[in-house]
Each structure stands twice: as structure tokens, then as C-alpha cells.
Amino acid sequence: MGQGLWRVVRNQQLQQQYSEQCFLQQDRERGQRVGPPLVEPLQQHRTPQCQVPGADISHLLRVRKGKEEQGFIDLEMLPPELSITILSYLNATDLCLASCVWQDLGNDEYLWQGLCKSTWGHCSIYNRRLPSGFSFRKLYMELDEGSLTFNANPQEGISYFMSRGILVDHPKEIAKFIFYTRMLNWKMLRIYLDERRDVLDELVTLHNFSNQFLPNALRDFFRHIHAPEERGEYLETLITKFSHRFCACNPTLVQEVGLSPDAVYVLCYSLILLSIDLTSPHVKNKMSKREFIRNTRRAAQNISEDFVGHLYDNIYLIGHVAA
């Protein structure tokens, strides 16, 4: 999209330059005339041949080719809003390279602030009054360094963010940082959350499962908090917290369908086992819909057959809940 904006700007500039050259040439010809004009009245009202809408395409292409040989159009010659819009499509690496050519534009605080907030959606430092001389470019470098540190050692990574004043040592602030950040390694994140159950509790409360179908809500949950590869105490803790949060977000559904945290807990395990059964290439005899309904209702007798059947259809059509 950035290249498209670039082409539009260049074409507009080329057309304007070509139009100005044509009208300047006509003014020169009029100035060289001596004496009264020896033209017919009809010729005086003749439409110029070089208007912008009907400009010669081949000539425009030749002019454009000559401009391309000279190099790119200088962004500093464009309106600041347009230059900033063009550079906003660059990532941090390309923006650093652009700052070597356009130093003022490449170091614009608005661009680096956008990069920080689009990559790390929540930081405690965003909500504080920033001191004079604060640099979002420097903040981006510190956030990137802290994320790399976290992916090697979670405790050291969080300590790095706190030492730089980026994060406040509070479970809710750390949970928001994790929830709105996509650069953290999920394996290291699982280790950290297994150690910091207080942060895990706050992270679960950030999810809103209102009016979501149970398998879709479980997918959304495991998208932020990855499920462990093996069954154990940590997986049980995750499903227990999810069950209570899902019921808290859907009180009407709890009354209509007869759901409870214990029933949701059982259904979650049934969905995980069904996902493995239907998606694993090692399982030859796939579980049928009738078998799933029968097995699930043995453990959750208050749940209707239609509701359990819809659960099966969702996994069959969409896929694994923890993929």
C-alpha cells in the first residue's frame, strides 16, 4: 500500500511539472511576437494542447523515466502529513534505514510511538507523564531488548522492564502487558505463568467470553494462554479458571442450558479429547457424533443432546480447540 501511495504522488507531481512546462512555453512564444497578433479570432480561443487531463501519455512516461534515473522523490519536498503516512507503513528496521536519508522524518516521535503501541499494546509507562526529552525510539529499543531477554529467561525479562520503568511491579499491570503483547515466546510464557499464579489470575479476568460459543471461547483462551503439551496440574488449573470465567461472562446461558463451572470443566476436557481424536492422523477409527454425545452426557447429565451435538459439529468443522 505504501508503494501505491508513492506512485500516486509521483504521477501527480509529474503531471503538474509537465503542465507548467507547457504553459511556460506558450507564454514564451507570446512574448516573442512583435506587433499586432496576426491570428484569426477563432485561433485566439483555441484550447491549449497540453492540459493535464489530456496530457500525452508517452511524453509523461519519458519524463517519469528521466526522473527515475535521477532517483526517488525527496520525501521532504512532500507535505509532512503525506510523508509521515508513507513512512508509517515501514517496520522498525526499515524506518531506521529511512532515517539515514530523511533524518527528521525517520526520527519522528509519532512514527515510533505508533510502532511501540502496535507491538506492545500496554505498558505502565504509557499512562505516566513523560519527561522532557523522552524518546519513543529509545523506548522501542528497550522494549525489543526486554522481549528478547524474556524469551531467554522470563524472570530476567520482567526485571529488565521494571528496571527501565516500563512496567510496574503489580500482577494486573504485568498481565495486561502479556495480554497485549505478541512477541513473547509461548513456552517461556507458560513457565512464567506457572510460577506466577497471581499474574495468571489477572490474565484470565482480561478475557471476555460473553455471547461466545464454548469451543470458540476455549480457542480464544488458548490463543493467549497456550495449553501445555501434556496433561498435568497446570492444564487442570487453566481449565478450572476458564470454566469459572466462562460462567461469569454468560449468566444467561448458565440458566438456560444448565451450565455450571463443573459442567464446563467436563465439557472442556471432552472437547480437547475430541479435537485430538478428529485431527490426529494416528487415530484411524474416529469418534462419531453419537458416541461423543453418549460419552459426554454420562459425565454431564444436565446438558442436552442438542447442545452436545453442536459442540461436536464445531470441532468437526473448525478444528482443534488448542491448536
Higher pLDDT, 8 or 162: 162
Output the CATH code of domain 207-322: 1.10.1000.11
pLDDT for 288: 93
Question: 105: pLDDT confidence band, cut at 50, 70 and 90?
Answer: confident
pLDDT given at position 22? 54
Write out the DSSP string of 80-138.
HHHHHHHHTTS-HHHHHHHHHHSHHHHT-HHHHHHHHHHHB---GGGGSPPPTT--HHH
Output the pLDDT for position 134: 92
Residue 38: the pLDDT is: 41
* Residues 178-211: tens digit of each pLDDT: 999 989 999 999 999 999 999 999 999 999 999 9
pLDDT in the model for residue 15: 56
Average of per-residue pLDDT across 117-146:
93
- Between CA 254 and CA 130 the distance in angstroms is 46
What pLDDT score does 65 carry?
Answer: 55
| Active-site residue flag, 173 | no
Q: Answer yes or no: is pLDDT of 33 > 70.
A: no
Residue type for position 257: V
Helices (H), 153-184: 154-163, 171-179
- What pLDDT sits at residue 281? 87
Q: Which of 29, 40, 81, 230 is catalytic?
A: 230
Whole-number pLDDT of residue 41: 44
User: What is the C-alpha separation between 133 and 108, in angstroms, rounded?
Assistant: 13
Give the model's confidence band at 12: pLDDT under 50 very low, under 70 low, under 90 confident, else very high.
low
3-state secondary structure of 181: strand
* pLDDT (tens digit per residue) in 41-99: 444 444 444 444 444 555 545 555 555 555 566 787 888 888 888 888 988 998 888 88
pLDDT at site 71:
58
Q: Average pLDDT in the 210-235 region?
A: 89
Residue 72 pLDDT: 62
What confidence score (pLDDT) does residue 40 get? Answer: 45
Q: Where are the domains of the chain?
A: 2-107, 207-322
Mean pLDDT of 16-37: 54
Residue 30: half-sphere exposure toward Cβ, Cα within 13 Å = 7
Terminal-to-terminal C-alpha distance of the chain: 32
What is the average pLDDT value for the chain, to the nearest integer?
82
Give pLDDT, residue 301. 78
pTM above 0.75, yes or no: no
pLDDT of 26 over the 80 cut = no
Q: Virtual CA dihedral for 255, 197, 185, 322, nearest 10 degrees?
A: -30
